Structure 1
Amino acid sequence: MSSLENFKELGVHKDLVKGLKELNIITPTAIQKEVIPLLLTTDTDLVGQAQTGTGKTAAYGLPLLHRIDPSQKVVQGLILCPTRELSQQVAKQLFRYTKYTEKIFAEAVFGGPQIDRQINALRRPTHIVVATPGRLIDLVKRKAVDLSHVKTIILDEADEMLSMGFKKELDEILGFLTSAENTWLFSATMPHGIKQIVNQHLSPEAHKIQVSSDVVNKNIDHQYLICEEQDKFHILMQFLRTQKEKRGIVFCRTKAATKKLAKQLQAKNIAADAIHGDLLQKERDKVMRAFKKENLQLLIATDLAARGLDISDLAFVLHYQLPDKDEYYTHRSGRTARAGKKGLSLALCTSAEVKQIRFYEKKLNIGFSQVREV
């Protein structure tokens, strides 16, 4: 592990360091220390494995910004993200980093809103496109975006893109961008499909960087409480009393369960709302705005609906129902304990589900402590 303690020592340009300082990003995270010096000095393919919330955007974003020539009004960098939220978040971060540099323009494009508006936006000088895979292919087919000058491709949260069914689109995009010099892939987990993408589209000499073998953040306290299904709501209410004003996400497996739980909580005057696949995008945006502005204390979410969310300062994640895939536990619990803070991940499980907890301990290399009451 590198001993470099600030971004200037990593080789980041002083104008970018100034922008980072203003965002209170002072000390590089483990993945940033490993990745930034390498990507600043070498044309290379890279596979970076690190859990959610470890500062991956700056790890790839800063080296990418170094590689952009602002005087060339062409798209030079492409970042692929699983969701609308993440693509908007990444474009916003890049904009903030470049406050004191020559203007570098990043445009986020994603499914949902009118494609015409995005086509118009891309007519302006654009150096970096941050896109969801499906929308990017639409834009390429309409000849609305020219990717022939792209030198660097980044796949952010590649495992999420895969589990959302984007394998075909990723293969197609990487297939027509053969002139790129660098492909950087970041993923919290490394399922078989990701290994296929790496073998097919990245060079055999690609650097592989994994920050700690633990996929799950060390600052998270993992707990479980054994109870009957019908007692879960009562236990959740007790737990919320102990948390006072603290904010968190409660996860359910199904849309129906999130809707029902949100209604039950609202009936008890808890500031909670649900996000799930049945919401229209504008309804989802409204809930997310309320949560980010801290008008809501609790977000009730399904695993799919929580994709790509980037919310800081969450004190806890509560698993009202255990996820049906083990990598979802990683993504769920990674919503708390961001940016070096501590967090709590509490699972409410029936006695039959304890074996699932034992499985997570083995598979994800984490320790759970059992609590008798909250």
Structure 2
Amino acid sequence: MSASGEAPAADLMAVPAAAAQGEGTSAGGEAPQQKPQMSSTAPREVDWAAEGDDSEEGDKEDGDKEPLPETQDSGEAPVKSASDDAAAAELGGAVAGLVVADDDIGGQHLGGIDPLDGGAEVEVVQADPNKPYFSAARFEDLHLSKELLQGVYSNKFQKPSKIQATSLPLILNRDEHGMYKNLIGQAHNGSGKTACFVLGMLSRIDANEKTVQAVCVVPTRELARQIEDVVLALGKFTKIETFLAVAATEEEKKAPRVKKVTAQVVIGTPGKLMNLLKFKNIDANTVRVFVLDEADVMVATQGMGDQSMRIKRYMPSNVQTLLFSATFADEVRELADMLAPAANKIVVKREQLSLDSIKQYCFDCGRNGKDTRMEVLSDIYGFLTIGQSVIFVEMRRSASELATNMRNEGHSVSLLIGELQPAERDKVIDEFRAGTTKVLIATNVMARGIDIQQVTVVINYDMPVQGRYPSVEADPENYLHRIGRTGRFGRKGIAINFVYDTTSRKIMSDIEKYYQRPVTVVNDVEELEKRIQEL
């Protein structure tokens, strides 16, 4: 079947009814498949003339292995009110303690959370080891407001997932001096970490105060839009408003200019947020919670790390700082400690990070010294029945060329790269999320945080690397984030890695060693089909 074919009804392609009808978001932050039109409860709060470039992580140009800043026209998305949003969140899961393996789930899939969530240990390292620590068995244990509990249960939460049960008490409880503690949280992809910091932000906000009280910084506009949907879903019984600080579409630029942002929650990319702060469109003196999602890349990436540090300096000295990511490389932890000093920490051991719900395969496409990746890719989509999939390519130019080649072969594909205009990027991701398109070719702009439950296959057309050619090394953190776009919340997923030369084979081997997990080698499409059928 071609890449444009319909998804079969097999387990690998199953989507919960609520998600299929556009009723919910995932615990990791998936936006509704059919996003309703939002009504604005306040005037647009932005001065277009006061804004500049929007920097994002994800794309790499040929010959330049560092992420490049994105330069976009000025502008922002409109203010949205949580009480106006009909989007729901399909969030829930297992319960965890300090260092536990939870057997309370009984193998059931509760509210979209990975049923294997209880089998992976997390370690809590408190800034004050003498302070008693308790995890939350129920959301009522967190003393959330009545409005937030309504939002939680209306979004099909049943009980906290492991990362939620572990992190939320640390986020919401004060120390003996009445201060909220910083947190550096690590959690598996698809474990519900977005809901952790969203509930953390919402619980600290006074909806009657029209001031910015929570700021969330993320690497890409796609992730910012997704997190805004989760804020609106969980906060829909409150009067809390959000402001999306990303590059504006041409249509949004036509809106009236307003000098001051007064929405309580601001979510955006570092370049845009930096300009809003610099030109005093945002008053940071009232901010209570400062969040970095995908924090490892936010603090380590050249350019983006500097911006994140500068944004943090605008915040009050007593701001609560929350850093979340699935991965924290050793060299990143020191930077994270600088951003969130004296923080409580939640840690997952490296060998437990590689996702058990994702079957990983390695396909050697080097035949007689020839790179046959395009031929193999065309065979996979020509002969195998798969639902939605993401194909990762390392550089923009290569992604565009691959999309052209796939279309010339008769396959229907979408392309998501950072150089697209904001409206184009939104259209691509919205259509893919809604299932209108089935195959998405993307650079690393899609690798982090994006939750689309229907994705069953991830293909690494280019293996993830760091450094500059020819002296590149494996990027195991980015590998984990890429393959984590499938196998969400206990669903089965498949990751196919293409190797074709000495360098790519070594990268695959180094990733196996890093996670101490072997990757199954397949030699042809027929063998791959057989293994998929055995799942």
Residue of structure 2 equivalent to 1:189: 327
Say which of 142, 148, 158 aligns to 1:16: 148
CA contact (8 A) 1:74 1:127 kept: yes
Deviation, 1:331, is 1.7
Residue of structure 2 equivalent to 1:73: 210
> Is it true that 1:369 corresponds to 2:506 in the alignment?
no
Q: 1:16 and 1:142 mapped to 2: Cα distance?
A: 33
| Percent of aligned positions that are identical | 29
**Residues 271-350 of structure 1: pairs in structure 2 closer than 5 A:** 271-304=412-445, 306-307=447-448, 309-325=450-466, 326=475, 327-350=477-500
> Is it true that 1:147 corresponds to 2:284 in the alignment?
yes
Deviation, 1:257, is 2.1
Out of 265-274 and 36-45, give the one that drifted further.
265-274
SS at match of 2:184: strand
State the TM-score, normalizing by the size of structure 1: 0.89
Structure 1 spans left out of the alignment, 5+ residues? none
CA contact (8 A) 1:44 1:181 kept: no
CA contact (8 A) 1:153 1:180 kept: no
Q: 1:248 and 1:181 mapped to 2: Cα distance?
A: 40
Give, as a single letter, the amino acid of the residue that structure 2 aligns with 1:202: A
Q: 1:249 and 1:98 mapped to 2: Cα distance?
A: 31
Q: 1:342 to 1:188 in 2, by over 3 A?
A: same
Q: 1:41 to 1:307 in 2, by over 3 A?
A: closer
Say which of 268, 276, 282 aligns to 2:409: 268
Give, as a single letter, the amino acid of the residue that structure 2 aligns with 1:287: V
Give, as a single letter, the amino acid of the residue that structure 2 aligns with 1:194: V
CA contact (8 A) 2:447 2:478 kept: no
**Residues 49-60 of structure 1: pairs in structure 2 closer than 5 A:** 49-60=186-197
Give, as a single letter, the amino acid of the residue that structure 2 aligns with 1:26: Q
**Residues 352-363 of structure 1: pairs in structure 2 closer than 5 A:** 352=502, 353-363=504-514
Structure label with greater radius of gyration:
2
Aligned residues: 372
SS at match of 1:148: helix
Q: 1:306 to 1:363 in 2, by over 3 A?
A: closer
Q: 1:226 to 1:180 in 2, by over 3 A?
A: same
Residue of structure 1 equivalent to 2:388: 247
Residue of structure 2 equivalent to 1:232: 373
Q: 1:201 to 1:234 in 2, by over 3 A?
A: closer
Out of 319-328 and 17-26, give the one that drifted further.
17-26
* 1:189-243: CA deviation from partner (whole Å, max 9, x where unpaired): 2246633433323223x11102454333331111112222533223223322454
* 1:245-291: CA deviation from partner (whole Å, max 9, x where unpaired): 51110112222322222122223332212222442223322322321
Q: 1:110 to 1:117 in 2, by over 3 A?
A: farther
Deviation, 1:124, is 6.4
Q: 1:80 to 1:316 in 2, by over 3 A?
A: same
Give, as a single letter, the amino acid of the residue that structure 1 aligns with 2:207: P
Say which of 105, 108, 114 aligns to 2:241: 105
Structure 2 spans left out of the alignment, 5+ residues? 1-95, 103-135, 175-179, 467-474, 529-535
Deviation, 1:83, is 1.3
Give, as a single letter, the amino acid of the residue that structure 2 aligns with 1:40: L
CA contact (8 A) 1:252 1:301 kept: yes
SS at match of 2:165: helix
Q: 1:194 to 1:266 in 2, by over 3 A?
A: same
Task: Report the structure, 1 or 2, having the larger helix content.
Answer: 1
Q: 1:8 and 1:155 mapped to 2: Cα distance?
A: 26
CA contact (8 A) 1:107 1:122 kept: no
Q: 1:281 and 1:164 mapped to 2: Cα distance?
A: 23
State the TM-score, normalizing by the size of structure 2: 0.64
Over aligned residue pairs, what C-alpha RMSD do you find? 2.6
Q: 1:276 to 1:305 in 2, by over 3 A?
A: farther
Q: 1:196 and 1:211 mapped to 2: Cα distance?
A: 17
Say which of 173, 176, 190 aligns to 1:41: 173
